[in-house]
Amino acid sequence: MIALEELMRSWWPRGRRRYGLWSRLRMFIFALVGLYITIPFLVKICPAIQTQLVFLNLVRFPYFIDLKRPQDQGLNHTCNLYLQPEEDVSIGVWHTIPAVLWKDAQGKDQAWYEEVMSTNYPVILYLHGNAGTRGGDHRVQLYKVLSSLGYHVISLDYRGWGDSVGSPSETGMTYDALHVFDWIKARSGDNPVYIWGHSLGTGVATNLVRRLCERETPPDALILESPFTNIREEAKSHPFSVIYRYFPGFDWFFLDPITASGIKFANDDNVKYISCPLLILHAEDDPVIPFHLGRKLYNIAAPARSLRDFKVQFVPFHKDLGYRHKYIYRSPELKQILRDFLGGTEQQ
Ligand SMILES: *[C@@H]1O[C@H](CO)[C@@H](O)[C@H](O)[C@H]1NC(C)=O
């Protein structure tokens, strides 16, 4: 202890204490200001930083779950499987069957799950947002709700997320979703297939559905939970960018690198090429994707020519409910909302 005290005294002599503290503080402030000014240049020079901020696929929270064991998340009627959309790309998929069938599912293999898809239940392809994996808690909770309402839920980790192999890109994500859609269609018989996108996944969802409509194989409906208009508007509104929002040249420094990396997620453009029923869900107190962006998307979609023969609905959730960005699954109204929108296709 004495040795330590002496060491500290020699490093920080008594007489210079005040001066030392001030100069340290000043240095700290200089460093902060320096960092604040340097970061935009770094981002501009190295667009990969922005790409990573958009995808956040390396954030694998929760870290200690085994994606091969969905049963650990309380999903006793879920099968884990892998698909290969392209050479060198492998994606992890969870298939949750309607909860009424949970007893039959015990001890069954992938082939059994695939067969069950052709029995009389609708299928939801769930496209998750950035960060985390298909085992993320708010996602698992939604699978449970949807499965209890009588849907199959198919959820995937795009290339680069979770245990899926490949490097992330908007095109790659969309391609992975398309591959899983075709995989479902090859097994689902005449059952309706719906696409459900959440957050960044809404960008994948509208890319996918636009492509499906161009191919003349539209899904039976598209559901967008907490969507944005396009990635530039979203990045501008994201809480991360608050500290730079008034930085001169914000767009040039922070948004152009995203665009230059080929990332658009242009929901606002895509909806003009989509022809299927569209449901938008958004919580007023969403801190990640502001409510007004969801509303704006609806205002673009509602009068779109491509959607004129289809139901387009916007369902807001009051801020007092506290559903924020990822808790809409908690709404007891969800069952009725889906039943009204999808026209009573549920089996329960
Ligand atoms: C299995 O899951 C179903 C549906 O979520 C649930 O009702 C049931 O209680 C679970 N069974 C066991 C043994 O955990």
CATH number of the domain enclosing 71: 3.40.50.1820
Q: What is the tally of structural domains in the chain?
A: 1
Amino acid type, 186: A
Q: Is residue 289 part of a domain?
A: yes
- CA distances 42 to 39, 60, 253, Å, are 5, 25, 9
Domain span at residue 141 reads 51-342
pLDDT of residue 212: 98
Q: Is the CB of 71 under 6 A from ligand 1?
A: no
Please tell me which residue in 147, 199, 226, 275 is annotated as part of the active site. 199
Q: Distance between CA 38 and CA 302 in Å, rounded?
A: 43
Contact 80, 67 (CB under 8 A): yes
Distance from Cα 76 to the centre of ligand 1, integer Å: 6
118 lines ligand 1 (CB under 6 A): no
Has 190 been annotated as catalytic? no
**Is 230 a domain residue?**
yes
Asked if the structure places residue 46 within a domain, the reply is: no
Q: Say if ligand 1 is within 6 A of residue 180 CB.
A: no
The identity of residue 77, as a single letter, is H
Helical packing angle, 17-45 and 48-55, nearest 10° = 90
The pLDDT value recorded for residue 44 is 84
Q: What is the DSSP letter of 149?
A: T
Residues of the chain with pLDDT under 50: 344-348
Residue range 91-127, pLDDT digits in tens: 999 999 999 999 999 999 999 999 999 998 999 999 9
What's the pLDDT at 250?
85
Is 39 part of a structural domain of the chain? no
Indicate whether 72 belongs to any domain: yes
Classify residue 141: in a domain, yes or no: yes
Output the pLDDT for position 251: 86
- Give CA–CA dist 256/14, Å, rounded: 52
102 lines ligand 1 (CB under 6 A): yes
Cis, bond preceding 192 (omega within 30 deg of 0): no
Annotated catalytic residue 148:
no
75 Cα–ligand 1 center, Å:
8
Residue 210 counted as domain residue: yes
List the structure tokens of 219: 């899904």
Q: Residue 146 falls within a domain, yes or no?
A: yes
Burial 271-283 (b: 16+ CB within 10 A, else e): bebbbbbbbbbbb
CA-nearest residue for atom 1, ligand 1, is: 76
